[in-house]
């Protein structure tokens, strides 16, 4: 039971960290607020967001392997696959903002130029899509935890 509690805690901590940092990206990536310091900060915030996402995945997999319910219970439930599918979609969507932040930072450091307004808006839209998809994952999780989806 202690291992189950620790795994659940670590998973929740990783999720909360991920949510805090995607929220920070959404707050910072605005046309009105973007300056040189924000460009630098966005790259750092996105890096922590990525690390947190990896921790979410790792702790989630650990819960299926070493948790009380075990792999047979989790991996045969289609809701786990829905959760993973949403998580993968969020991960794929996160690639564009990550590459964009690196490009912005490289341009800023070499030329001193800030990104174009359209580029900022497009990137923010993708960050917002990620944030909204992340919010759906716990909905699936609560049904999964209660045994929905099992035949």
Summarised one tens digit per residue, pLDDT across range 4-45 is 999 999 999 999 999 999 999 999 999 999 999 999 999 999
Specify the residue for token string 């009105």. Answer: 32
Please tell me the predicted confidence (pLDDT) of residue 149: 83
More confident position, 70 or 97: 97
- Cα separation, 67 vs 55, in Å, equals 16
Task: Answer whether residue 151 shows pLDDT above 70.
Answer: no
- Cα separation, 46 vs 18, in Å, equals 10
Mean pLDDT, all residues of the chain: 96
Task: Answer whether residue 150 shows pLDDT above 90.
Answer: no
Task: Answer whether residue 2 shows pLDDT above 90.
Answer: yes
What would the mean pLDDT of 59-74 be, rounded to a whole number?
93
Here the tokens at position 100 are 């964009």
Element containing residue 131 per DSSP (H, E): helix 117-145
Here the tokens at position 105 are 């930072």
- Cα separation, 151 vs 5, in Å, equals 27
Neighbour-count burial of 35, counting CB atoms closer than 10 A to its CB (0-12 exposed, 13-18 middle, 19+ buried): exposed
Distance from chain centroid for Cα 57: 10
Query: What's the pTM?
Result: 0.93
CA dist list (Å): 47 to 22, 26, 35, 50, 86: 10, 14, 19, 5, 20
């Amino acid at each position: 039971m202690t291992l189950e509690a620790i795994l659940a805690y670590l998973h929740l901590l990783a999720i909360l960290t991920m949510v805090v940092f995607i929220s920070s990206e959404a707050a910072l990536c605005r046309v009105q607020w973007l300056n040189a310091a924000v460009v630098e900060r966005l790259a750092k915030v996105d890096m922590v967001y990525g690390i947190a996402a990896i921790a979410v995945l790792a702790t989630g997999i650990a819960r299926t392997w070493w948790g009380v319910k075990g792999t047979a219970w989790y991996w045969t439930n289609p809701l786990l696959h829905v959760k993973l599918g949403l998580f993968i979609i969020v991960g794929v969507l996160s690639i564009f903002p990550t590459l964009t932040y690196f490009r912005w930072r490289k341009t800023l450091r070499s030329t001193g130029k800030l990104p174009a307004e359209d580029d900022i808006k497009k990137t923010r839209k993708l960050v917002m899509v990620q944030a909204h998809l992340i919010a759906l994952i716990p909905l699936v999780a609560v049904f999964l935890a209660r045994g929905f989806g099992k035949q």
